[in-house]
Each structure stands twice: as C-alpha cells, then as structure tokens.
Structure 1
Amino acid sequence: MKRTKSKIDEDLRKFSSILTNKMNSGFVVLERNDKLPYAILMKNKKKVDHISNFFMFCATLGLWSIAWIYISQVSSKAKKILIAIDEDGNPFEEKCF
C-alpha cells in the first residue's frame, strides 16, 4: 500500500518533534536519515559525586547505599538510543548496545 505525500510529511513532523524532545532532554544526534526516517542519539554519562553520596550514606546509616549503587552503576552510564518510524507511521525507540 502506497502512502500519500501528506502522510509522509505528517510522519516526518512526528519524527522531528520526537527528536526535538529528546535533544531538549540532553541527547545529541550521532546519525540521522530523513529518507527512512531514523536517528541514533547519545547522552553522555554523568559524573557521580561520591563524596556527597558518602555523607548521605553515613547520615542514613547505610540505607543510601542502594541509591548510591543505582546512581553509580545504572543512571550515570552513557546511553545510546535509536528512534525511528516504521512502515505504518508509528514511532518507536530502542536501546543501542
């Protein structure tokens, strides 16, 4: 089934708005293709302040260790994602490894 020009333009607008939202949240475009349309985005890793986390760990008698481990191992890592629009015009997002 062929898609009309207006449907393709609508999909590109939807794709561009998703990219704009992601770029506003800190992602940077590594690669972009408007013909297919897809884009690979990356967010740099965050630096963890271990000194303040240690003080929180001491103040909460060790309960902060769970949050500290999560911050150090999961949320501070660099992230790469793929954003694309499939044949039906539905946007999707996947993690890149």
Structure 2
Amino acid sequence: MKSNTSITEENFIKFSSILENKTNHGFIVLERNDKLPFAILLKKRQKVDHLFNFCICCITLGLWSIAWIYITQVSSKAKKILVAIDEDGNTFEEKCYMG
C-alpha cells in the first residue's frame, strides 16, 4: 500500500504536466497555488483576419462562411480555465466565468 505522500506527489506531477501542456498551447498562468493545488489560466483573444476569410469565402463560393462564423464567434474569444486537484486526487478542468 502506498503512503499518502507518494500519491500526492504523483498527483502533483500530473497537475504540473497539465499546466505545462496548457502553457505550451498558449495559456498564461494568472494565479497558481501549490498548497491547495489549483491554477487559473487565461488564453487571450485572437484577432480574426476578416479580409483573408472573405477571400477564402469567395473562392469556395460561400462554403467557408460556416468556418468563418465559427472562428469569429467561438475560437477567437478569450478563455479562462481553472485546473485543480480534487479531494480524491484527480485532476480536473473547469471553465471560469468571464464577466
């Protein structure tokens, strides 16, 4: 049977690897607490090149408009997430309210 310290070390390593993965994908760590452990990450809003998307939309006879709307409405918005370890030692991710 493993001791509690080895389980928490394994979970902390998993937590750190998730944070590293998220920061490699463009997230910025806003707040991190290693005692609880949790972290709040932010991915800034991306600019949409509407002229480029309009040209692609014209070339594809309007088919690109579906992707263009998705890019404009969903992908380009800022994202804020919470990454933490719960009481059972499992890591989880949750979206934060951007108010």
TM over 0.5: yes
Of 36-45 and 8-17, the range deviating more from structure 2: 8-17
Aligned twin of 1:32: 32
Aligned twin of 2:6: 6
Unmatched tracts of structure 1, length 5 or more = none
Q: Partner letter of residue 70 of structure 2?
A: Y
Give, in whole Å, the separation in 2 of the partners of 1:63 and 1:17.
39
Unmatched tracts of structure 2, length 5 or more = none
**Aligned pair count?**
95
Please report the RMSD computed on the Cα atoms of aligned residues, expressed in angstroms: 1.0
Percent identity, please. 71
CA deviations on 1:40-75 (whole Å, 9 max, x unpaired) are 000111110100100011111111111100001100
Superposition TM-score, scaled by structure 2 size: 0.91
Runs of 4+ displaced beyond 2 Å: none
Aligned twin of 1:87: 87
Superposition TM-score, scaled by structure 1 size: 0.93
